[in-house]
Amino acid sequence: MSSGRAPRATTARAPRPEPAPATTQSGGRQRSTKQARAIETALGAADGFRTAHELFTEFRAAGERIGLTTVYRHLTLLADTDRADVVHTADGEAQYRLCGPRDSENPDEHHHHVVCRVCGRSVEVSGPEVEAWAERVATAAGYTDITHTVELFGLCPQHSPATTRSRKRKPRP
């Protein structure tokens, strides 16, 4: 259920403390709500990045009583606690995706995404070469405490031309 607009990457955030449960109340207390669980479940079931409006529309069509503001608020909380990744469409609309499970040996490992420009389907990928390049370039410029975001956009196998798919399947000599 993509809006047809290609997402673009946001600015990376510095590492954050452990993720908070569902919703933060005033005073920093946290609580879990039916709406928050529904948003996380729907986002977790999605095959790619989703906008708040897309999720809201699905909830309303299913008869769920949830406000658009609640959807936005919880998606923002998920992103702020590093439980969801965010990319923006060309016109600035935020799209969200739950982060995959963290590697227990490397819980702070940084990852990137390959995102389909047609349907928004995404795959998490690691890029040690990108990490080394970013550190090298920043250090050469005199910068420290570096963060970055790299997102790759293309066509998923379902939306790639048939000639491209068949060419990729052939083993190289």
Specify whether the backbone of 145 is left (phi greater than 0), alpha (psi in -120 to 50) or beta.
Answer: left
Most confident range (mean pLDDT) of 59-63, 80-84, 89-93, 148-152 is: 59-63
User: pLDDT digits over 104-115, tens only?
Assistant: 455 556 777 787
pTM of the model: 0.57
Selected residue with higher pLDDT from 30 and 77: 77
Q: Is residue 154 part of a domain?
A: yes
User: pLDDT digits over 5-23, tens only?
Assistant: 444 443 333 333 333 444 4
Q: Looking at the 3D structure of the chain, how many domains does it have?
A: 1
CATH code, 51: 1.10.10.10
Q: Is residue 52 part of a domain?
A: yes
User: pLDDT digits over 37-84, tens only?
Assistant: 999 999 988 877 899 999 999 999 999 989 999 999 999 999 888 888
**Domain residue limits at 103:** 7-169
